Amino acid sequence: MYNNISERVWDTIYSFLQGVKGLHIKNNEKTRCFVEGVWYVLRTGCQWRLLPPYYGHWRKIHKRYKMWSDRGIWTGLMSSVSDVDDQAVMIDATIVRAHACASGYDKEGNDAQALGRSKGGFTTKIHALVDGLGNPIKFILTGGHRNDITQAAELLKEQRDTIVLADKGYDSQALVDTLESQGCIATIPSKKNAKNPRKIDKEQYKERFLVEAFFSKIKHFRRVFSRFDKTTTAFSGFLHLAGALIWMR
């Protein structure tokens, strides 16, 4: 079997997994085969049942992937491999289209699984916090119809004494006041109709392109570019694994 994950990256992943209690990962080769299978689905966007048989039976891999997602293994992996440059951070959001097969899981409605209707159709919105080099720190998922600014405070609540870059969609005096109370500098331009537009460092603001570049990178993973998963945890698992792989490049 050809390995898509390099030896260096696999050593990092396996080292993290060995520190997680309750995982059956003593067999390095079998564990790698499973993770390689998940990588294949993430990268190509294929259906689980179309997974090449040399990775193992697709149903077992799918079941194990879901279990790891529910336990937050992929989220933990991204946190473990990150080395955040917190001189500045950036927030933004992007919409991904959801396939019809992603609906119908929750009796409380699609919104409970971060699905909704927007101008783009049936969608999920990824709200992201990235560091000064454009690497991911944190994600929040909502339905595509939710406004970007609704998740700003939650994304930034742990940030202290740093520069926060965001576009006009995050122009809110309440948010700016919150950031200042955390010792942060808000580099957020005012909307055109603002009576008293705030002054910002325009050269500094140009660095915000890094969060856009991050979204471009993440969407090369086809299982993030389009959502097929019914549950938030399953889609989030793919998102965090992709984020971890970007960190390990």
> What are the DSSP calls for 73-127, one per residue?
HHHHHHHHH----TTEEEEEEEEEEE-GGG-S--TT-GGGGT-EEETTEEEEEEE
- Give which of 96, 58, 32 is closest to 227, Cα–Cα: 96
User: Can you list the domains of the chain with their CATH numbers?
Assistant: 7-71 (no CATH), 84-230 (3.30.420)
Using the structure block, give the residue that is written with the tokens 């957020």. Answer: 188
Per-residue pLDDT of the chain (249 residues; tens, 9 = 90+): 678 999 999 999 999 999 999 999 999 999 999 999 999 999 999 999 999 999 999 999 999 999 999 999 999 999 999 999 999 999 999 999 999 889 877 666 677 899 998 887 999 999 999 999 999 999 999 999 999 999 999 999 999 999 999 999 999 999 999 999 999 999 999 998 888 889 999 999 999 999 999 999 999 999 999 999 999 999 999 999 999 999 999
Stated pTM of the model? 0.95
CA distance 168 to 152: 13
